[in-house]
Structure formats: structure tokens, C-alpha cells
């Protein structure tokens, strides 16, 4: 899902870059307002774990693989704004230190994975009724799947707007592969959240952010 | 050890195990985007990064064993990400803005 340099046109890079700069600015502001300083180690450890998980490509058949994005997972535990910050940090490190995802395409990758995947999964998940342990299994599978599919849709549109291909040529296979990868995302997220429900149920039962009126419960 | 601290250590240890032990066994097949790019042709537009990265392709240069090079890259990445985000958190979060009853 990491877009390399060269794939997107200058206008597409400019627009997604501007959107990402705005997104990170808002994420910093909201995280500042909402995050307890006690949760700073959690911010770091979520980033570390998602970085590691993103290295693990799992086969999805026919010579293709996928890996966790993790934005939806982080949004459940930290709220979507802190999650956006976590994913942006990971994408910046991957791009500059490991050559994974273009440096010029960083804005597009942040837009797709830290913003689109993150908020689409998070808001879909809010529609599901949680169980007494603070989560919804079907909601997690649905949220994980939609987060990957929405990011893939965004990538397909960016490739089309860059005139690298026709939308109707790129979109169907992008959706096909990423629905499968998205189910993987949902199942891995469910495994992680059900473990956390056992050891740190407070993270799921308390509101993720500390201000009244912000995504309580 | 306090429950919340223990959780952080377990999380960090899991990240190091995943990145340092499992990563060499990850699938090397193209991911969804690369696969579609190969099938429809748009991957031909892809270029190398405009800057050369220190650890290209998640392999520490100069290490002959691929698995070890990948594992080391994973461990470096995990620690780098943790420190980076911990630093950002410290930088932007005002001190002890904690509501009663919340713990982390």
C-alpha cells in the first residue's frame, strides 16, 4: 500500500501533501488537548508495535501479500487523532530510513493510511454496539476491512488522477485484493483487541480521550 | 510491577519479537498495490526514492545474512519509532493534565 515515488503526478502530490500537512497539524492540536501525559508511553509502544506488524507480509493467495496498516487498531485504543499521529510517524520513518514509500509520495501515503484508513475504520466502528468487555467483534472485522478498502480506493483515485491508468482498470483489482487483505486486517485487529480486553480492559472500557464531549465511551 | 507499566513492556517486547524474529519469515510476494501495478502496468512509473535511505528494503547494509540484516533493521525501526513518538508525546502534551480515575 506504500506508494513509491514517480507513481503520482505533481498536482496529486501537492494536493495530498497539503491535506496531510493539515491533517498532521490538526492531529497534533487534538492530541495535545485530548491525551493524558500518562498515555505517552502507550503512544510510543503502539507506534513500535505497528511498525513491527507492518513488516510482516502475509500471503493472501495467487502470489500476492498484504500487511497490517494498524491505523484502525490504534484508533480504538488512542482515538483517531492520536492514531493519525502514530501512523504519520511510522510512515515518515519508513520513507526516510527504509526507502518504503516515496519521500515525495509521503503526503499521499499519510493521507491514505493515517487519515483515510484511520477515520473510515474508526467511524464505522462507532456504529457497532460494544459487548460488556468494551468491544464489538463484528465491528472490528468490519472496521478493519473498510479501513484497508478505503485506503486502496484513495490510492486508486490518486493513480487515476495522475493519469497513470484508467479508473475502471485500476479500481476493480485494487478493491478485489484489498477486500481480502482488509479481512486479514480485521482478524488481526480482533486478535489484538481481544487480548487487550483480557489484560487491560480499562483501555477499552474508559473513554479514549479525556475531554467531555469527545468520542466518550 | 504496576499493570500499566507491565503492559508497555509487554507491548515493546512483542514489537521487538515480531520485528526481530518473525520479520525474516514474512511473505516476499508483491503487496496488493504492487500486484495491481504489475498486472495493469502502472508500476513502470515507480522510481527509486529521491533520497537514498540508510537501511534500504529493511536490510541493514553490509550484513551477508539476509535474515539477520532484516531482523536488525526491524529492531532498529521499532526502537526508532518508539523513541520518536515518545518524544513527540512529551513535546506536545502538557504536564500532568490527568483526570482522576484515568490511568494509562
The ipTM value here is 0.92
Which of residues A15 and B99 earns the better pLDDT score?
A: A15
Give the pTM: 0.93
Using CA coordinates, name the residue in chain B closest to A169.
Answer: B40
Mean pLDDT lowest among B26-40, B70-84, B85-99: B85-99
Region A98-107: mean pLDDT is: 96
Inside any domain, residue B46: no
Half-sphere CA count of B31, side-chain side, radius 13 A: 22
What is the model's pLDDT at position A214? 47
List, in sequence order, every residue forming a beta bridge with A58; answer none if it has no partner: A66
Inside any domain, residue B77: yes
Using CA coordinates, name the residue in chain B closest to A33.
Answer: B93
Mean pLDDT lowest among A22-31, A204-213, B36-45: A204-213
Compare CB distances from B46 to A7, A64, A169 and report the shortest one's residue: A7
pLDDT exceeds cutoff 50 at A213? no
Inside any domain, residue B83: yes
pLDDT exceeds cutoff 90 at A176? yes
3-state class (DSSP) for residue B60: coil
Quickly count: other Cβ atoms within 10 Å of residue A20's Cβ. 23
Between chains, do A52 and B55 touch, taking CB under 8 Å as contact? Answer: no
pLDDT exceeds cutoff 80 at B2? no
Region B58-68: mean pLDDT is: 95
Name the domain count of chain B. Answer: 1
Inside any domain, residue B98: no
Considering only residues 67 to 106 of chain A, which have any Cβ-Cβ distance to chain B shorter than 8 Å? 67, 85-86, 89-90, 93-100, 102-104
Region A97-123: mean pLDDT is: 97
Q: How close A107 comes to chain B (CA, Å)? A: 14
- The CA-atom distances, in angstroms, between B34 and each of A65, A181, A199, A211, B104 are 9, 13, 38, 42, 39
Q: How close B71 comes to chain A (CA, Å)? A: 10
Contact A36, B99 (CB under 8 A): yes
User: Considering only CB atoms, which chain A residues are within 8 Å of B5?
Assistant: 41
Q: How close B68 comes to chain A (CA, Å)? A: 14
At A179-193, the pLDDT tens digits run 999 999 999 999 999
Inside any domain, residue B75: yes
Inside any domain, residue B74: yes
Answer positive or negative: Cα dihedral of A200, A151, B25, B56: negative
At A133-152, the pLDDT tens digits run 999 999 999 999 999 999 99
Give the residue numbers spanning the domain of B64: 59-90
- The CA-atom distances, in angstroms, between A16 and each of A10, A31, A64, A121 are 10, 22, 27, 20
The pLDDT confidence band at residue A18, using thresholds 50, 70 and 90, is very high
Between chains, do A51 and B81 touch, taking CB under 8 Å as contact? Answer: yes
Count the residues in chain A.
217
At A19-38, the pLDDT tens digits run 999 999 999 999 999 888 88
Considering only residues 39 to 68 of chain B, which have any Cβ-Cβ distance to chain A shorter than 8 Å? 39-43, 45-58
Q: Which domains does chain A have, with CATH numbers?
A: 10-205 (1.10.1760.20)
CA gap A125, A117 in Å, rounded = 12
Which of residues A80 and A34 earns the better pLDDT score?
A: A80
Inside any domain, residue B80: yes
Contact B23, A53 (CB under 8 A): no
Amino acid at each position: 500500500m506504500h506508494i513509491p515515488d514517480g507513481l503520482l503526478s505533481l498536482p496529486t502530490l501537492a494536493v495530498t501533501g497539503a491535506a496531510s500537512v493539515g491533517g498532521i497539524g490538526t492531529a497534533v492540536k487534538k492530541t495535545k488537548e485530548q491525551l493524558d501525559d500518562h498515555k505517552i508511553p502507550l503512544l510510543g509502544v503502539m507506534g513500535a508495535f505497528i511498525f513491527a506488524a507492518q513488516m510482516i507480509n502475509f500471503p493472501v493467495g495467487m502470489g500476492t501479500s498484504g500487511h497490517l496498516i494498524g491505523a484502525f487498531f490504534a484508533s480504538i485504543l488512542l482515538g483517531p487523532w492520536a492514531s493519525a499521529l502514530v501512523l504519520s510517524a511510522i510512515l515518515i520513518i519508513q520513507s526516510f530510513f527504509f526507502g518504503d514509500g516515496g519521500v515525495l509520495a509521503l503526503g499521499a501515503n499519510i493521507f491514505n493510511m493515517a487519515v483515510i484508513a484511520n477515520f473510515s475504520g474508526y467511524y464505522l466502528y462507532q456504529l457497532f454496539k460494544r459487548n460488556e468487555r468494551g468491544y464489538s467483534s463484528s465491528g472490528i472485522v468490519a472496521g478493519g476491512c473498510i479501513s484497508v478498502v478505503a485506503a486502496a480506493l484513495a490510492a486508486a483515485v490518486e493513480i487515476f488522477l495522475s493519469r497513470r491508468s484508467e479508473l475502471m482498470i485500476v479500481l476493480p483489482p485494487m478493491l478485489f485484493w484489498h477486500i481480502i487483505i482488509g479481512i486479514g486486517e480485521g482478524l488481526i485487529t480482533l486478535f489484538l483487541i481481544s487480548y487487550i480486553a483480557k489484560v487491560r480492559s480499562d483501555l477499552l472500557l474508559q473513554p479514549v480521550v479525556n475531554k467531555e464531549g469527545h468520542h466518550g465511551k | 510491577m504496576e499493570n500499566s507499566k507491565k503492559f508497555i513492556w509487554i507491548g515493546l517486547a512483542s514489537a521487538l519479537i515480531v520485528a526481530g524474529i518473525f520479520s525474516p519469515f514474512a511473505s516476499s510476494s508483491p503487496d496488493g498495490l504492487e500486484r495491481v501495478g504489475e498486472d495493469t502496468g502502472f508500476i513502470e512509473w515507480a522510481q527509486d526514492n529521491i533520497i537514498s535511505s540508510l537501511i534500504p528494503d529493511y536490510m541493514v547494509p553490509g550484513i551477508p545474512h539476509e535474515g539477520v540484516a532484516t531482523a536488525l533493521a526491524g529492531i532498529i525501526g521499532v526502537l526508532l519509532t518508539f523513541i520518536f513518538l515518545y518524544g513527540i508525546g512529551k513535546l506536545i502534551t502538557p504536564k500532568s493534565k490527568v483526570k482522576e480515575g484515568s490511568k494509562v
